Chain A
């Protein structure tokens, strides 16, 4: 794009389509200006937040449909939640800190789904098979884990191979299967055919599963009173891991796996290989299991700072995976959609041709309720659910 020769359209160097000559490609979100130095990240940014790199595991990964000005609100809420966790732990109210850790991330995700209003016409199906399913399955898993492995003083004395295999391998793999089971019911529905839908469903089910499992598993400890004896530092680190890091790990892994399933079975054929092996369910689902197993072994064999650091590394890797799944998902539909009449961008407030990305700020317009999105070109579509 050059300033001396004003043009109304330009051929996008990334997707190849002829698009309005505006700062961002409305189809793929590519930065179209010549001077890349003026671009916030000097290369194509994350589809849901073009001012951020695709390789920066930030909060926009978990809340991709939030406009930028509302992201601050959720960052503030998350920060306040973390402060509550720290205050309760430092005040030695460990049982309350555990409860706060279990509900913090699910609560933020429920607020997010409510705020973006994305599934306004199907709230029961979506909430039932993601949030509610995750909660019910998590409670069931909590009881199952207590029944399968009775962790008592014997666990302190002796970690048998069987115990380690059950706690570190079998239970996390069963958990991944359960977290994916609810969202998978939504896979055949045409109205939920975006990769972003799958990733959102998977992440929502995962965080509620983890929270519900934690509450159930810790019920014996919760019944011991408000201020049991305990050291502050180990408890604080553990509560931060349970309340933030592990839910993020689960959301990244299961959201990534669910996104890969959507990419494989709902995306246009040319997009199915966009993520390479990570977009192949045969690789992605086992990878999600491997990430949760790795997290479980870290918790079995390390403590305190080392445990938190290793879990954070795994969680960041999972988040990065989810971020790239979402990025591909946000671009997948662009070829099928006609450029529509102007709308006001929910992120920057400027007018933009209605399509996949805002031409002014580059944010994905997927935050719009589905009923307001431009229609797809007629063509073959995956079979509708019975």
Chain B
């Protein structure tokens, strides 16, 4: 699996992989839910890559996320991971009918042959030659030059690596939810933990807790502006269903003071227990501030 996704990243082949997370590793807990595939979704293979990831947090979001994942794949010409989990994928639920007028199907830019066979020319993407049409080239999983021929030249590897990462900027178009943004401590769930986290947040807000709310299904690349906001917080609390604290680790890597509330039982969060854990996290911060 990983080698194939590496090939799609390297050869610039648009595709969407839906990863429905269940308890792992190996066959793990095949009928239970978990959020433990974030790291492998971002970096599924060997080598320098970071795949785009969209993780819907509800049935309604899943509808939009599927369409957007295809749009992303077409726009940046590469693999996109649609990351859901058993608790969403196996749920039946009544939802309001989605507004399809808000969905716009994007198609990749197709080569008209004016670039000859230089399929990989350009610092941040280029039109896609379709077999049968003009612009014949070699889609190559080895490092390659502009026409797809294998090369080991250091300067070409540098240029092409930067091109592949530059293409991700075209996906910095996502949106996010933000509430009570003045708070210095905020709650930021991802994926299917959004439901119980939202419930916990609303109850705590009703009780007057000084807690902010952030949420996005666009995990990589993150929507523009979101990181700056998160970096300004004393603490970003991330409820997530894995041992490693995968999303908080990802945020810390980018300079956010994030900490996880971790659960790895194979079951979703329960709201009361989650509220108690959030309280504890909030107290550690206020305790630290008091000691200073």
Do chains A and B interact in one complex? no
